Amino acid sequence: MTAPLLKYGLFGDEFSLVLAFVLGVGFGFCLERAGFGSARKLAAQFYLYDMSVFKVMFTAIVTAMLGVTYLGWIGWLDLNLVYLVPTYLKPQLVGGLVLGVGFVVGGYCPGTSVAALATGRIDAMVYALGIAAGTLAYAEVYPAIKPFVNADAMGQVTLPEVLGLPWGVVVFAVVVIAVLGFWGATKIERWIGSRS
Amino acid sequence: MRLPRLTLNQKLGAIALALGAVAIFSQPHRGPFVKLDTRELALVVEEQVDHVTAPELAAWIVEGRADYRLLDLRTAQEYAAYHIPTAENVPLPGLADYPLLRNEKIVLYSEGGIHSAQAWMLLRAQGYEAVYMVLGGLEAWKDEVLFPSLAADANPQQRAQFERAAALAQFFGGQPRSGDAAGAPAATVELPKLTAPPPAAGPATPVGKKKKKEGC
């Protein structure tokens, strides 16, 4: 059995929706259990006294990266078939900043807002309305900003390709950066905590 | 020597570092090397489910369907001289690097069909699942779509089919050939064209709704 399971035809599109639902519910459950269903926890990241979001994100990156690398290495996962979001450097930087501002202001990212919505938080409901309004607004201005949205197209690229380094070296470098990041984040938490 | 007491987080960090260090030597990408399920491919070939006939393709183009990519595997000159509307020119050597998605429906054609069959194998081997060939290649496109013919002793059903084919042919700038003298007074004018090489007369400009989707 080789993954990606869908693209190897183990199941069809319909069943993939069922799987997506199960995985989504599981993801939301974990977010809520980890405390990410609260805007306070998420906003704390930006005030640097609780770096959970940073740690969780980087843990996810390292876990998935090592998993994908090893599964590809032993031949259980065909990396050629894994979909990569195409890179549009400048538009994605701007988009990331817009998302980040929304993250700070609203206290949620899109995923956590849905989890919070499910537990009945009113601020998450307002946030969801904001997502809908923002999506609508984006669709309206899309024709005007289309040239920029499609600028800087780099295709489906990966860090090893861009940096010209072997895959494994990039993997190791990311792990080192992550571990240093965890260490630094804990230091920052203690430092901010001791000041207040 | 005693190991220092590590917290759970520190242990996990150490494990990640160790896995990362080993991964330096990993080779997760297969590169140009492939693994083939020969039995599965043989079955596909046997059942001929990898074929699209020229009239089917013509109907898709007329409908403006955009759920597939049509690739012309001939040289750039041949492509410039004539190509099926909406086709993208991908000469065989460039196929491996051509930006295609693994889950896209890909329709190939070449002059006769040998090159498209070979390209079909290359793409299937690289994990492209939905690869099809135009049965008979451009030759079939000319015979069945651009210049369809009707035998003089055709039965009514064949005639009805020919009517549809003729409409398609005109859509693509071709000419229906009819052996039925009564049906077409201009048949004598059309006939010489049949023997002449038709592609030059074909539509150089794309016909119909040209929609090209680059994924999303």
Residues in A touching B17 (Cβ below 8 Å): 175-176, 179
B212: tokens are 């090209």
Judged by a CB distance cut-off of 8 A, whether residue A9 touches chain B is yes
pLDDT over threshold 70, residue B160: yes
Residues in B touching A79 (Cβ below 8 Å): 28-30
* pTM score, whole prediction: 0.60
Per the CB < 8 A criterion, the answer to whether A62 and B16 are in contact is: yes
Residue A188 has a pLDDT of: 92
Range 14-33 of A in CB contact (< 8 A) with B: none
pLDDT over threshold 90, residue B34: no
B113/B91 Cα distance (integer angstroms):
14
Q: Å from A122 to nearest chain B CA?
A: 34
Q: Å from A178 to nearest chain B CA?
A: 9
Domain B38-141, CATH: 3.40.250.10
Domains of chain B, residue spans: 38-141, 147-198
Judged by a CB distance cut-off of 8 A, whether residue A7 touches chain B is yes
Q: Which residues of B touch A (CB under 8 A)?
A: 9, 13, 16-17, 19-21, 23-30, 99, 101-103, 126-127, 129, 215
Question: CA B14 from chain center: how many Å?
Answer: 50
Residue A115 has a pLDDT of: 92
The pLDDT tens digits of the residues spanning A105-162 come to 889 988 899 999 999 999 999 999 999 999 999 999 999 999 998 888 888 888 888 8
A190/A194 Cα distance (integer angstroms):
6
The pLDDT tens digits of the residues spanning B59-91 come to 888 888 888 899 999 998 888 888 888 899 998
* Cα dihedral A14, A19, A22, A23 sign: negative
Residue B198 has a pLDDT of: 43
Complex ipTM, two decimals?
0.79
- B119 CB-near residues (< 8 Å, 6+ apart): B71, B73, B92, B95, B108, B110
- How many residues are present in chain B? 216
**CB pair distance less than 8 Å for B16 and A73:** no
